[in-house]
Amino acid sequence: MSVETQKETLGFQTEVKQLLHLMIHSLYSNKEIFLRELISNASDAVDKLRFEALAKPELLEGGAELKIRVSFDKDAKTVTLEDNGIGMSREDAITHLGTIAKSGTADFMKHLTGDQKKDSHLIGQFGVGFYSAFIVADKVDVFSRRAGSAASEGVHWSSKGEGDFEVATIDKAERGTRIVLHLKSGEDEFADGWRLRNIIKKYSDHIALPIELPIEVAAAEGEEKPAVEWETVNRASALWTRPRTEIKDEEYQEFYKHIAHDFENPLSWSHNKVEGKLEYSSLLYVPTRAPFDLYQREAPKGLKLYVQRVFVMDQAESFLPLYLRFIKGVVDSNDLSLNVSREILQKDPIIDSMKSALTKRVLDMLEKLAKNEPEQYKGFWKNFGQVMKEGPAEDFANKEKIAGLLRFASTHGDDGEQVVGLAEYLARAKEGQDKIYYLTGETYAQVKNSPHLEVFRKKGIEVLLLTDRIDEWLMSYLSDFDGKSFVDVARGDLDLGNLDSEEDKKAAQEVAKAKEGLVERLKTALGDSVAQVRVSHRLTDSPAILAIGEQDLGLQMRQILEASGQKVPDSKPIFEFNPAHPLIEKLDNEQSDERFGDLSHILFDQAALAAGDSLKDPAAYVRRLNKLLVELSA
């Protein structure tokens, strides 16, 4: 046994302590996944060695035949997993095994509910494979040496999965990592060759390097102990290189869990081989749930990149646009050089062609999901909808295709769920309707009850209700869909086109002419508060509303800019009034200029509140309202 030096005891990161407790108590129903997770990590370590060895072939000295070995000792009640991959230094072991070095940790902990079933799903979203060892082991020893370092620079990491771990420097002759699991009482079933073989075949058959188990053979003459030979248990061929007809759904699902470090099956996947001018294979997955760092645009993302089946990069960002950053998968190219780097990827025209094709493939996959599995697509949209809304701004070439995948709430429903697609909206549009109408706001309740919708309710016209913070920005990039233009019902002078009869239009013109005097009085009273005053064609029940100028920023965009500390361009609303409303009739008959001014400002402020805006001078509003109440009670 190697002599241990520089031995020290260190405490786990707080999050790891919580996580270990969760792993041990939440995944008891599926304990065997510990082996899948450890084999996945070992496979990653071998991939990283292959890549580093492209530039430094000497790293492969002492063992160019890369493999994973799983063994067991029934008497000692241990399971051992060993790889000859990249290995770890002392610092690596402390960093990777003592802390969760991943963005989103705080969010992960915040989402823990105490419900073991729900929390086990969260583990999958976060991806913490190594710690699953403690589901079956009450002590874990890790012996490792990084490729290229001296034999004296090995490390021994040990923990019982409680508050701390020990780390010491040791001599280790071979590079790579050996993990020894000391099984808990009652977990002896895993110290069995038949059981381990079945787990490997079930979860890790797709791993593209040999996973070996020991088999005993008869002792040679003159020897007491039987000899041990190693047998490859898995197929050891890259899944994405095999014909689709030969691959079962279960294999696709397990491969996803391997590359994504997820505990749940994917929602959908697409496997494709391209031949001709470009030659590459791709296997793309849509996850079931969103990771915690989804909205951190700078967080690591991208596909695993292989060149001629040699692993090159873990998170190649150049093959998909940013709005599809949730997609997991593998791309294996025959047309890229093995010494490819992130900088080269960004400049290579081949990448642009592949990116365009892979993006289209993902969008086709989502279209198919939306068409064939609408309930599944609902779940997808709930998890990834806001990220998809970044698409029209980033991917002009696929804008129409992305628009078809968008989902919104509308006046057609009553629960605020974003389930209405644009094609569905147009399919039930009114005869003669040549526009897609929408309204943005802060909350569903606010937009659903907005006075701007009154004329649409009266005429039975459906309006999309947009309440995500990104929606107004999104609509600035969507001008039309299927030949029909988008119209913000709170912006400009509303024109319902063919949905208004000639009689309606003529009557509106006559009313506007008859109320010219009131328009001028309101302009004088409201002064610089408004850009314009006019008779409204939108209102049936409310006395007044504030409309936005055609070129002005809406409330959502103004709030976003203000929150980010940017200067917001000055703009004034358009005050529209309903000439048939009793309050407006009273206002029109008011003789006192002072009282007329107070009532005009009260109506203006109420319209601002109904639009979800804040008042510029709340004290003045309260003063005018109190004055009016006193007069009414006198």
pLDDT of residue 382: 94
pLDDT tens-digit series, residues 369-417 = 999 999 999 999 999 999 999 999 999 999 999 999 999 999 987 788 8
Pair of tokens at residue 461: 């016209």
* Paired residues of 176 in beta bridges: 145
What DSSP string describes 70-127?
Answer: EEEETTTTEEEEEE-SS---HHHHHHHHHS--STTHHHHHHT--S-HHHHHHHHHHH-
pTM tops 0.85:
no
Nearest to 379 by CA among 465, 464, 295, 288: 288
* pLDDT score of 308: 78
Question: To which H or E segment does residue 391 belong?
Answer: helix 391-394
Q: Could you tell me the CA-to-CA distances from 251 to 34, 46, 207, 238, 246 in Å, in that order?
A: 18, 21, 10, 11, 10
Residue 116 pLDDT > 60: no
Least confident of 112-116, 251-255, 341-345, 451-455: 112-116
129-151 per-position pLDDT tens digit = 687 888 899 999 999 999 999 99
Q: For residue 93, is pLDDT > 60?
A: yes
Sorted by where each starts, the structural domains of the chain and their CATH numbers stand as 5-233 (3.30.565.10), 240-382 (3.30.230.80), 516-548+570-633 (1.20.120.790)
Q: pLDDT class for 1, splitting at 50, 70, 90?
A: very low
Choose the weakest-confidence range: 36-50, 89-103, 258-272: 89-103
pLDDT for position 105: 45
Confidence of residue 492 (pLDDT cuts 50, 70, 90): confident
Q: Where are the beta strands (DSSP E) in 308-453?
A: 310-316, 328-333, 409-410, 435-440
Q: Does 49 or 100 have the greater pLDDT score?
A: 49
DSSP string, 125-191: HH---GGGGGGTEEEEEEEEE-TTS-GGGEEEEEE-SSSEEEEEEE--SSSEEEEEEEEPTT-GGGS
End-to-end CA distance of the chain: 99
Question: Locate tokens 């420097």: which residue?
Answer: 169
- The pLDDT-based confidence of 368 (bands split at 50, 70, 90) is very high
Identify which of 584, 460, 470 has the alpha carbon closest to the alpha carbon of residue 519. Answer: 584
**Given this model, what pLDDT does residue 344 score?**
59
